[in-house]
Structure 1
Amino acid sequence: MNVLMRVDASTLIGSGHVARCLTLAKALQGLGAQVSFACRRLAGDLSAQIAAQGWPVYRLAVEAPDDGAQARNAANIEALLPWQPDIAALAGQLPPGTCFDWIVVDHYGLDRHWEVAARPWAAQIMAIDDLANRAHEVDLLLDQNFNASTQRYAPWLEGRCRTLLGPEYALLREEFERDARPVRQVVERVVVNFGGMDAAGQTLKALQALMGLAGQQVTQVTFVAGLSNPHWAELQALVEQRPQWQLLAYSADFGQLMAAADLFIGAAGGTTWERAALGLPTLCMAVAANQQDNAQALAAAGVHRYLGPCAQVSVAALAEAIGELLANVEARQRYARLSRQLVDGRGARRVAAALGGLPGS
């Protein structure tokens, strides 16, 4: 099986789409598939990191208005890209006569126009989506979110399209297939992470909140601040005041850090499913508009505590929420139990099996 992943990352898009595609690529590799990636050249793209892991990468030189501008807001990140230049750039990279068994497209900016145009290169196409806001012309659609449903996608899909919906298909690395850590009476270790880039700059807010806890101390905190964090110098200066606190831009052992933690503070994005698989009690905020619905639905189901969009959460409000959860072991135990019931860590295997046409997919 020969598979192409069409996915982007940047300082503004973030790294979550690439992370889940890499996870799926490894699961497909385990079935004997050959996987390659096609990514645009953007500020903060991860093409070099993908290639360093041994995956072939087609680097697409595509002009996109404002794509690297700091003024580009979250709403524009979901705006459709001009699909013709993207297809032309891909055509210029692929060898003549190329045909993939599957093209997997994980991109908020691409819709049925791109998918129809890519048909000559693929026997079948899969879209990974979270938004249900644009038409698709695909054979398979994956939405791993808790609020995914056939009704939500009914206006956007052709009748022949199969769907994989819900957290049982969450694309998690193998390291998250493990037993949950028991919830301890006292929180000793906290992990803070707001995505691979933290373009919203929320790590600093969490650090300030933890430093401002009245009468409560957390012994060990690891801040995984993201590549190119806008507040790196200030974070570094503050962490130096606490010898047992640690500041990292990136961690190759992020799963192990989470597995050893008692509490997670971060974004309501891709790590949602990693935390759930580990049964890690969580306080989260949405750092993008597309995270809000799913985060609210999970909070209503008792899986985590959701504080709302990050712009509406002050340092004081975050500190208050942290203090409440530190003191409430019953709430932390409940979050751990319900999240473990939702995600078992085998989603990538299920999706790979569906692409491979294996029984039980």
Structure 2
Amino acid sequence: MRVLIRADASIAIGSGHIARCLTLAHTLRKQQVDVQFACRQLPGHALQRLRDAGFVTHALPGHYVQEHSGADIEAALPWQEDIYALGEQLADEPTFDWLIVDHYGLDARWETAARQLTHRLMAIDDLANRPHAVDVLLDQNYSAQVLDNPYAQWVGASCQTFLGPRFALLREEFQCAAIAIKPRVERVLVNFGGFDAAHQVHATLLALKGFDDLSVDIVAGLHNPDWEALQALCAERPNWYLQALTDDFFGLMQRADLFIGAGGGTTWERAALGLPTLCISVAHNQALNARLLGQAGVHRYLGPHECVTTEQLTHAIRDLIADPAQRLSMAERSRVLVDGCGAERLANTLIGHEFFAASEQP
């Protein structure tokens, strides 16, 4: 069985699309599936990361003639150019069994054209804002689970939809026991994605300056725009530990008592561990899901990053540290949503072992 994944990473897009697709790719490969990736050569692309993980990659152009410079990450790509470039790269490849697309800039027009390359198509989406022409659609967000059929107008009647955190694409290690919720917070983990284009790591460290008794692990992301300022802050505090990337993010999460971060893919990793979280959204597509999870008591949502002041974050940290009952409640509500088996469920679907009912509850 052969699978092609079309997804991108960049400083503007972030690394979340590649991260969740890579999780699914590893799960498929364990079942002897040949998985390949097609990605654009954008600033901050993940092609070498994918090659280092042992996957065949197909490099697509970093610029298209009809592409508008400065367009946001949800802007439509010139899909004809993307399909043409993909076809050129795959000219000598046999037809794939599945093509998985995880890209806000591509829609049903691209998917329809991509049928020439594959027998079946799957889309991974978070937005429910454009038509899809696929056989399977995944939206792992809580918003997709609680809102009334958000993809009804966007997919055909024969499309199988998998909606909600039960299908979150998490690495196998997150099929684990919950962390212990201690009466006293001792260790905080700060991370706002793979690049932190919103400068939120630095803003968070400013809010933490007065908490001298806390140990703070900071995973700042590749090419963090405030790296020198972060180094200067951490140099003054021996119990603050700064790194750009880590090979043991899971271990850092297990040792943490509190997480401060964004509303992206780590949301489900935190939920699987029952890790109490202060969440600040750093992209438009994170806001709805983060707000609904906040209302459900899964984390405390402070709002979009541009609306959260240092003083507000400091007060929120102090309040949650002083409230072990709320931290325990967050942990319990989180664990109800996620069991860590989502990648296996989707892999089994693609391989054809069985179709899980999208409406099935944990």
TM-score, structure 1 length as denominator? 0.95
Could you tell me which residue of structure 1 aligns to residue 255 of structure 2? Answer: 260
1:98/1:360 CA distance change after superposition, 3 Å: closer
Alpha-carbon contact 2:64-2:81 (below 8 Å) kept: no
Which amino acid counterpart does residue 112 of structure 2 have in structure 1? V
Could you tell me which residue of structure 1 aligns to residue 142 of structure 2? Answer: 146
Percent pairwise identity = 53
Q: Distance in 2 between matches of 1:248 and 1:222?
A: 8
Could you tell me which residue of structure 2 aligns to residue 336 of structure 1? Answer: 331
Q: Are residues 1:357 and 2:352 paired?
A: yes
What SS is found at the alignment partner of 1:186? coil
1:206/1:63 CA distance change after superposition, 3 Å: same
Alpha-carbon contact 1:190-1:218 (below 8 Å) kept: no
What SS is found at the alignment partner of 1:283? strand
User: Per-residue CA shift, 1:242-290, capped at 9, x if unaligned?
Assistant: 1111011001100110011000000011100000000000001010011
Q: Distance in 1 between matches of 2:101 and 2:56?
A: 16
Could you tell me which residue of structure 2 aligns to residue 137 of structure 1? Answer: 133
How many residue pairs get matched? 354
User: Per-residue CA shift, 1:173-205, capped at 9, x if unaligned?
Assistant: 111111011100111111000000101010001
Which amino acid counterpart does residue 18 of structure 1 have in structure 2? I
Q: Distance in 1 between matches of 2:213 and 2:340?
A: 29
Q: Distance in 2 between matches of 1:229 and 1:46?
A: 16
Note the residue ranges of structure 1 that are not aligned, 5 or more in a row: none
Could you tell me which residue of structure 2 aligns to residue 124 of structure 1? Answer: 120
Could you tell me which residue of structure 1 aligns to residue 360 of structure 2? Answer: none
Could you tell me which residue of structure 2 aligns to residue 186 of structure 1? Answer: 184
Which amino acid counterpart does residue 87 of structure 2 have in structure 1? A
User: Per-residue CA shift, 1:332-357, capped at 9, x if unaligned?
Assistant: 00001110111011110111111111
Could you tell me which residue of structure 1 aligns to residue 267 of structure 2? Answer: 272
1:310-321 maps to which residues of 2 (within 5 A)?
310-321=305-316
Which amino acid counterpart does residue 282 of structure 2 have in structure 1? V
Which of 77, 83, 86 pairs up with 1:81? Answer: 77
1:110/1:360 CA distance change after superposition, 3 Å: closer
Could you tell me which residue of structure 1 aligns to residue 237 of structure 2? Answer: 242
Alpha-carbon contact 1:5-1:37 (below 8 Å) kept: yes
Question: Which deviates more, 59-68 or 338-347?
Answer: 59-68
Q: Distance in 1 between matches of 2:46 and 2:206?
A: 30
Alpha-carbon contact 1:58-1:93 (below 8 Å) kept: yes
Alpha-carbon contact 1:144-1:164 (below 8 Å) kept: yes
Q: Distance in 2 between matches of 1:313 and 1:65?
A: 38
What SS is found at the alignment partner of 1:195? coil
Which of 86, 89, 113 pairs up with 1:90? Answer: 86
Which amino acid counterpart does residue 182 of structure 1 have in structure 2? A
Q: Distance in 2 between matches of 1:333 and 1:237?
A: 34
1:8-23 maps to which residues of 2 (within 5 A)?
8-23=8-23
Q: By how many angstroms is 1:62 displaced? A: 4.7
1:38/1:318 CA distance change after superposition, 3 Å: same
Q: Distance in 2 between matches of 1:352 and 1:194?
A: 28
Which amino acid counterpart does residue 59 of structure 1 have in structure 2? A
Q: Distance in 2 between matches of 1:196 and 1:25?
A: 19
Which amino acid counterpart does residue 25 of structure 1 have in structure 2? A
Q: Distance in 2 between matches of 1:152 and 1:142?
A: 12
Note the residue ranges of structure 2 that are not aligned, 5 or more in a row: 357-362
What SS is found at the alignment partner of 2:279? strand
Q: By how many angstroms is 1:97 displaced? A: 5.5
Question: Which deviates more, 55-64 or 229-238?
Answer: 55-64
Which amino acid counterpart does residue 12 of structure 1 have in structure 2? A
Alpha-carbon contact 1:20-1:172 (below 8 Å) kept: yes
Q: By how many angstroms is 1:151 displaced? A: 1.8
Which of 202, 205, 208 pairs up with 1:207? Answer: 205
Question: Which deviates more, 235-244 or 142-151?
Answer: 142-151
Could you tell me which residue of structure 2 aligns to residue 175 of structure 1? Answer: 173
Alpha-carbon contact 1:189-1:218 (below 8 Å) kept: no
Q: Distance in 2 between matches of 1:190 and 1:64?
A: 42
Which amino acid counterpart does residue 156 of structure 1 have in structure 2? W
TM-score, structure 2 length as denominator? 0.95
Q: Are residues 1:228 and 2:223 paired?
A: yes
Which amino acid counterpart does residue 216 of structure 2 have in structure 1? V
What SS is found at the alignment partner of 1:118? helix
What SS is found at the alignment partner of 1:308? strand
Q: Distance in 1 between matches of 2:28 and 2:213?
A: 41
Alpha-carbon contact 1:209-1:315 (below 8 Å) kept: yes
